[in-house]
Structure 1
């Protein structure tokens, strides 16, 4: 177990080493640590080497001039200037929250950005202000649409976060693919197979090989196949791609710049960088916030009392496992698998910073 502060200081040091200003380095570290604390290990410090790789290849601007390029009272488009999505997305969410504070809701599209970490971090910023938060992003093309074997979409996560009263927020934070790519990476590092229904191999056949996508295969949409509703996952992913990429002026579909090392950027891209879309809605724009939160508590309590298939397995409220993981990890430290720890040690040596 690694204490949170030690891991936070190390992560901040990595971002400083690639030229990020202190405030940006601290914010980027905060976003990554939020993932590790919430048990989303695929999107925490395990991603650090990916950001460094982008910087080394000239695809990441460590000192961006992030700016609003289009605006109305309730909407805006932000250009991230090739910077960290870990910094650009919070910048945009702050704008969405301020617009919501003034006008009831705020919606911001982001272009020319990079991987923004867990969507939940950004959506929860709105919850802190008694608002409903919304965050999504497009991503490296690794997912084949229904009836195809061609990688045209990202895992394209979507997140809604709702404040409650006595209970933790309800946070629906999920990939629109059958599994997030990070889940494959976790399985690969552990030398484990993956469930059938996540991936197709290079010939379009189902496989349990965690490395299949690296070998030319593709992730499947949520639902896995048409008989089990993959067209719905494809539809959700399309919404994310259109709002994040087409609406903002970022790249979309197969033109999204890859974050993973085994994909090469395509030429003649129609947009700029990766795209995100964030939003905030004031609860009291619809009804008194206290009344809403009281009903949210009732909603949560009733679902937790649902009749069980297995008495040992209660119904899990969206966001509940992550909340419980955070309570535990803040107290007891953050576990790192050996492969990630070795990767971080190599990163420290490369950048000339202190070891973890």
Structure 2
């Protein structure tokens, strides 16, 4: 590697979107994905990097490769509908990349919504699907309300427990607007996503109270706590701050994504990291997702809905702030701002992640990504 090629800012390298996208596509092609699947999978990961959700972008790339190396990920799946009604379907992902399986399922949901007003698709036998927002926004592009959620590796403890039972189980709701950008509520149902811990680990930071507990159930600010048998906490942290609500949201995602579809749920959900083996007695197949598309014009004229979405956004944006230097932030606004900035100036990649990409390039005999 020519070190002069890489612009370094503190512990971060600025990489061009084009270079990072091309490298990611090449990785997926190398493990056996079709050109179309490689392009789509790369698009999902790059979307996360552009939106500032660094924990779910190319930082995850080597994780997919390791799953493939362990034989737990099928790079050329035969994705198919296994159960269907006019407005619903269940999809088997054939152990494929969730980055590919989830958009396939959302397209089915969108088609059903166009025909019948709404479409709902449950997915089983899949893998990690990246950011939920990518899939929900596919519906928004069709002037529909989009829903996307997935269960995940069991790292989160229910309220009052010390046992890992649930994933970070993200959910996203995306609403189209008119003059304003869409409202995108994209969040984990745990107090923090596991990727936030990984970022803190790479940077040597401690984490806030209320994110994790030790294996004995006591609070901790150690970002390495999960490696010692600790657990992430539900959204809210503890009962006094509403962790039972976070637990309820996470349970909802798990049931819709996995119990409904026939995927593994709760503590049986397969881990994303390849060095941990799946549960020896699975209750379903792979990870599960749940995706939906809903036509706003099934309730009122689309233009009316968009006009009032704009009015909603405008009023909330102008709510009187506590501190005038910090106005109210509409869901999805920080991600949109990050996308504009990163498309113009390149994508910041933590050096440890870049080193991981370099190793991946070396292992797969690929050229490494270049700077912006």
Tell me which residue corresponds to 2:75. Answer: 62
- Map 1:294-309 onto structure 2 (within 5 A): 294-309=307-322
Quote the offset at 1:270 in angstroms: 0.7
Displacement of 1:331 = 1.0
Q: Which position in structure 2 is the counterpart of 1:227?
A: 240
Contact 1:214 1:262 survives alignment (8 Å): no
1:124 and 2:137 are equivalent in the alignment: yes
Q: Distance in 2 between matches of 1:75 and 1:106?
A: 6
- For 1:160-179, what aligned pairs fall within 5 Å after superposition? 160-179=173-192
2:27 pairs, out of 10, 14, 37, with 14
Is the aligned partner of 1:351 residue 2:370? no
Alignment of 1:132-281 (within 5 A): 132-261=145-274, 263-281=276-294
Tell me if the contact between 2:191 and 2:210 (Cα under 8 Å) persists in the aligned partners.
yes
Aligned length: 356
Equivalence for 2:347: 334
Deviates more, 1:70-79 or 1:198-207: 198-207
Give the superposition deviation at 1:343. 0.3
Taking structure 2 as the reference length, what is the TM-score of the superposition? Answer: 0.95
Instruction: Give the Å deviation of 1:119.
Output: 0.0
Deviations 1:314-355 (CA, angstroms, capped at 9, x unpaired): 110000000010011111110001001000000000111111
Once the two structures are TM-superposed, the CA of residue 263 in structure 1 deviates from its matched residue by 3.5
- Cα distance, 1:115 vs. partner? 0.1
Instruction: Encode CA deviations 1:33-82: one digit per residue, 9 max, x unaligned.
Output: 00000000000000001100100000000110000000000000000000
2-structure distance, mates of 1:169, 1:121: 12
| Equivalent residues in 2 for 1:103-118, closer than 5 Å | 103-118=116-131
Q: Are 2:335 and 1:322 aligned? A: yes
Q: Give distance in 1, aligned partners of 2:109 and 2:173.
A: 14
2:4 maps to which residue? Answer: none
Equivalent residue number for residue 6 of structure 2? none
Q: 1:24 is matched with which residue? A: 37
Consecutive unaligned residues of structure 2, counting only runs of 5 or more, are 1-13
Match among 54, 63, 66 for residue 53 of structure 1 = 66
